[in-house]
Amino acid sequence: MSREPSRSSEYAVDGVAAGLGGFGIATFAATGLTLFGLAGGEPIPIVALGSAMVDLTPLWLKNLAVGVFGTNDKAALWVAMAIVIVALLAGIGSLARTRHTPALLTLGALGLVTVGAVLSRPGAVTADAVPTLIGVVCAVWWLDSRLRERSRTPTDGSGPSRRDALVLAGGAVGLGAISALWGRRVPGDGPAGIAEVTLPAPASTVTLAADADLGVPGAVPWQVSSGEFYRIDTALIVPRIDPASWRLRVYGEVEQEIELTWAQLLAKPMIERWVTLACVSNEIGGDLVGNALWLGWPVRELLAMARPRSGADMVLSRSEDGWTAGTPLSALTDDRNALLAVGMNRAPLPPQHGFPVRLVVPGLYGYVSATKWVTELKVTRFAVDMGYWTPRGWSALGPVKTASRIDVPRSGREVRAGLVPVAGVAWAMHRGITAVQVSVDGGPWRDARLAGQPTIDAWRQWVYDWDATPGSHTITVRAQDGAGEWQTADVARSDPDGATGHHTVTVRVA
């Protein structure tokens, strides 16, 4: 019986084992580089490769990914990367069955692409490439040795097994993964550890008004828990920052450069404020929006210390992972509650939401304001600098558009005839919501009952008591902001500056 099919698959396994083993060794070495303080950017090859892919993703594909996967977009990227990498490595192994040297050169070329990704990361230094180069050399050497061994092995299958190769690769990958996870620890890491961080009592606080939450069953609560709050950012691995080493640098077109430490920030008079944040990728009726109680120091007070120069109109904030946002200087210096936030819902910021410090700016979409893990504020001009998403097709300014959403009943659901509560939320941060209306089957607009509005920087709940009759019905909602402007019915996609249109659901009444 021919052994060719088996041997062909064994060569593919060799390619996968060589590549994954190289990734594992490189990850282990990169962790050591980071622990010794020699890394400048992101030396872990798989993370750097994924981050580079995010940077190169065209706008239409980014929108598609968020639209399809929502807050699971990163998990989808990891799965897609794993499939592509394994397929490429298997192809290299299969090529090696008949073309030894070209296969080794292809594996080396894939490694050099990864080196390029490592060096493309913000803050990268030459040393960052060393772990990946070590992994590439090991992968090429191992595959070459494996191929030479196979050339001396009889065709009866008595040579090296696929299990041996996979065990070796799995061990290398496991070692790399464990070292990477351990290396990214910070003092007090994890929910319990972060809870041990003592936040100062606010100098100015607010309470949730009794009429802010209507309590309609099935509707999203007025305050969204930290665990349920949406997360959209470009960080494939959540940065882990030791607060003791955190610094915020304020520089650029200022009279006085400032460097702020964690201890100095916590000594400032903190305020608590309700602020709703929204992602520009949120489609009509989407859930990439949430309201929370934030604790922080007003950014305007920090900028007043730095004294921006005449002509400056933008602040370019930078994250620990290199991501940037261009925020109008006016939005950070006016009377709105733009914060250097350290707390969320009366607890320290969770890592995925920016621990230890992030920006919270009412009235602007997150891509121009909500920098997590913030480390720099550069006072500059829109004519000089651009945030991460602006050169990728989004508008430079990102004011939140008036929007409303029906939470109950859900589209496609069946309800019983009689009085049915139609409820949801509406938002126009820093302008407020003054009215919400509902239309059934294209009929006249009817006023909904509004919940209390403790602040114009947060969303507002509403409910409409609908006298439902049997049959299929469509329900549409619209909102009016504090300037008296009704939400537009014109349908537009989220790019380049936010989606528009009325949210509509279809329900069946039994």
Which domains occur in the chain, in start order? 4-183 (no CATH), 195-392 (3.90.420.10), 403-509 (2.60.40.650)
User: Above 60 in pLDDT, residue 506?
Assistant: yes
Cα Rg for the chain, rounded, in angstroms?
27
Q: What's the pLDDT at 170?
A: 62
Name the band, by pLDDT with cuts 50, 70 and 90, for residue 164.
low
Between 166 and 34, name the one with better pLDDT: 34
User: Above 80 in pLDDT, residue 186?
Assistant: no
445, 439 contact by CB (below 8 A): yes
According to DSSP H, which parts of 97-218 are helical? 100-119, 129-151, 162-183, 190-195
Residue spans of beta strands (DSSP E) within 336-482:
339-344, 358-360, 374-380, 403-408, 414-415, 418-427, 433-440, 446-447, 449-450, 460-468, 471-481
User: Above 70 in pLDDT, residue 1?
Assistant: no
Taking CA 220 as the corner, what is the angle to CA 434 and CA 456, rounded to the nearest 5 degrees?
30
445, 478 contact by CB (below 8 A): yes
Name the band, by pLDDT with cuts 50, 70 and 90, for residue 61.
confident
Partnered with residue 406 across adjacent β-strands are: 424
Exposure string over 312-333, b if 16+ CB within 10 A, otherwise e: bbbbbbbbbbbbbbbbbbebbb
Closest CA to 255 of 297, 317, 304: 304
Give the model confidence (pLDDT) of 364-418 as tens digits: 999 999 999 999 999 999 999 999 999 988 999 999 999 999 999 999 999 999 9
Percent of the chain with pLDDT over 90: 68
Stretch 168-173: mean pLDDT: 57
Name the band, by pLDDT with cuts 50, 70 and 90, for residue 224.
very high
Stretch 88-116: mean pLDDT: 93
- Report the chain's terminal Cα–Cα distance, integer Å: 66
User: Above 50 in pLDDT, residue 3?
Assistant: no
Between 205 and 157, name the one with better pLDDT: 205
User: Above 60 in pLDDT, residue 128?
Assistant: yes
Give the model confidence (pLDDT) of 7-60 as tens digits: 678 888 889 888 988 888 899 899 888 878 888 888 999 889 988 988 888 877
Look at 193-197, 268-272, 343-347 and tell me which has the smallest mean pLDDT: 193-197
Q: What is the 3-state secondary structure (H, E, C) of 315-347?
A: EEEEECCCCEEEEEHHHHHCCCCCEEEEEECCC
* Residue 418, C-beta contacts closer than 8 angstroms, at least 6 positions apart: 467, 468
324, 309 contact by CB (below 8 A): no
In a 10 Å sphere around its CB, with 0-12 CB exposed, 13-18 middle and 19+ buried, how is residue 287 labelled? Answer: middle
In a 10 Å sphere around its CB, with 0-12 CB exposed, 13-18 middle and 19+ buried, how is residue 447 labelled? Answer: exposed
Residue type (1 letter), 173: V
Instruction: State whether residue 409 is helix, strand or coil.
Output: coil
Q: What's the pLDDT at 2?
A: 43
Q: What's the pLDDT at 192?
A: 44
Look at 39-53, 140-154, 293-307 and tell me which has the smallest mean pLDDT: 140-154
Partnered with residue 344 across adjacent β-strands are: 294
The number of residues in the chain equals: 510
Q: What's the pLDDT at 440?
A: 97
Partnered with residue 414 across adjacent β-strands are: 508
Closest CA to 481 of 456, 500, 445: 456
Q: What's the pLDDT at 154?
A: 53
Percent of the chain with pLDDT over 70: 90
Please tell me the distance from the alpha carbon of residue 378 to that of residue 316, in angstroms, as a whole number.
5
Give the dihedral sign, CA 145/148/149/150. positive
Q: What's the pLDDT at 158?
A: 47
Please tell me the distance from the alpha carbon of residue 500 to that of residue 457, in angstroms, as a whole number.
20
Give the dihedral sign, CA 259/261/264/269. positive
What is the residue-averaged pLDDT of the chain? 89
Stretch 169-175: mean pLDDT: 58
Q: What's the pLDDT at 178?
A: 60
Give the model confidence (pLDDT) of 272-283 as tens digits: 999 999 999 999
Q: What's the pLDDT at 163?
A: 60
Please tell me the distance from the alpha carbon of residue 500 to that of residue 428, in angstroms, as a whole number.
13
Name the band, by pLDDT with cuts 50, 70 and 90, for residue 132.
very high
Q: What's the pLDDT at 156?
A: 47
Taking CA 374 as the corner, what is the angle to CA 275 and CA 72, rounded to the nearest 5 degrees?
70
User: Above 90 in pLDDT, residue 111?
Assistant: yes
